[in-house]
């Protein structure tokens, strides 16, 4: 990949679209600010103020400029943002990448996370430089690992004390999918 800023595509899923964040998307960021897990895992502000939500949206554009990762708003059939998903390189190379995501509390259990993950993964696996796409999911987070499995990811194992969340080390399942450039199917 070149060193230019990342250019975000718009990706159509079954019932969602992945597109750039807009300033008109503040409501879902304000809603997500009330979810303790989302604020622990992401830079979603812990307060529902509009300036803080707008700053979050601006940070997503900055992540493209700084090549930190491809970050999308997940939009429903009415083009309202209902969540967030992003693809991030492991370290500063794009041989491996991981995906993180959240859905606003009022929009859950409608298949949106699975749809968004399937859509982003289908795009990511054809990127030239990538060998594998990874997800890290806490074992208790059944909604997340079920979405991963629905999107075709395989659970490869348990990473003990892999990441600190809210200051405490957490075990994570490692889910992964190999990309098209790896010319062999998952075992």
Ligand X SMILES: CC(C)(COP(=O)(O)OP(=O)(O)OC[C@H]1O[C@@H](n2cnc3c(N)ncnc32)[C@H](O)[C@@H]1OP(=O)(O)O)[C@@H](O)C(=O)NCCC(=O)NCCS
Binding site for ligand X (CB under 6 A): 35, 37-38, 101-103, 108-114, 137, 141-144, 146-147, 150
Report the 10 Å Cβ neighbour count for 23: 10
* Nearest CB to ligand X, comparing residues 93 and 146: 146
Minimum distance from residue 171 beta carbon to ligand X (Å)? 12
Burial of 164: CB neighbours in 10 Å, binned 0-12, 13-18, 19+: exposed
The CA-based diameter of the chain, rounded to the nearest angstrom, is: 48
As given in the structure block, the two tokens for residue 56 are 């979050």
Minimum distance from residue 145 beta carbon to ligand X (Å)? 8
* Nearest CB to ligand X, comparing residues 118 and 179: 118
Residue nearest ligand X by beta-carbon distance: 143
As given in the structure block, the two tokens for residue 187 are 């075992």
* Nearest CB to ligand X, comparing residues 130 and 148: 148
Report whether 21 contacts 73 (CB < 8 A): yes
Minimum distance from residue 3 beta carbon to ligand X (Å)? 29
CA nearest neighbour of 101 among 91, 114, 80, 86:
86
* Nearest CB to ligand X, comparing residues 62 and 142: 142
């Amino acid at each position: 990949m070149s060193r230019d800023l990342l250019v975000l595509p718009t990706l159509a899923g079954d019932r969602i679209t992945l597109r750039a964040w807009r300033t008109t998307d503040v409501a879902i960021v304000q809603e997500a600010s009330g979810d303790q897990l989302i604020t622990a895992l992401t830079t979603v502000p812990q307060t529902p103020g509009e300036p803080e939500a707008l700053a979050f949206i601006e940070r997503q554009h900055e992540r493209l400029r700084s090549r930190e990762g491809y970050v999308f708003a997940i939009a429903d059939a009415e083009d309202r943002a209902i969540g967030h998903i992003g693809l991030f390189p492991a370290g500063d190379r794009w041989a491996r990448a991981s995906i993180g995501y959240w859905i606003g509390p009022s929009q859950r259990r409608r298949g949106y996370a699975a749809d968004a993950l399937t859509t982003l993964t289908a795009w990511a696996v054809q990127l030239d430089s990538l060998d594998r796409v990874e997800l890290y999911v806490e074992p208790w987070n059944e909604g997340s690992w079920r979405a991963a499995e629905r999107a075709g990811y395989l659970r490869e194992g348990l990473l003990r004390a892999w990441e600190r969340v809210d200051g405490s080390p957490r075990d994570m399942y490692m889910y992964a999918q190999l990309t098209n450039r790896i010319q062999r199917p998952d075992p």
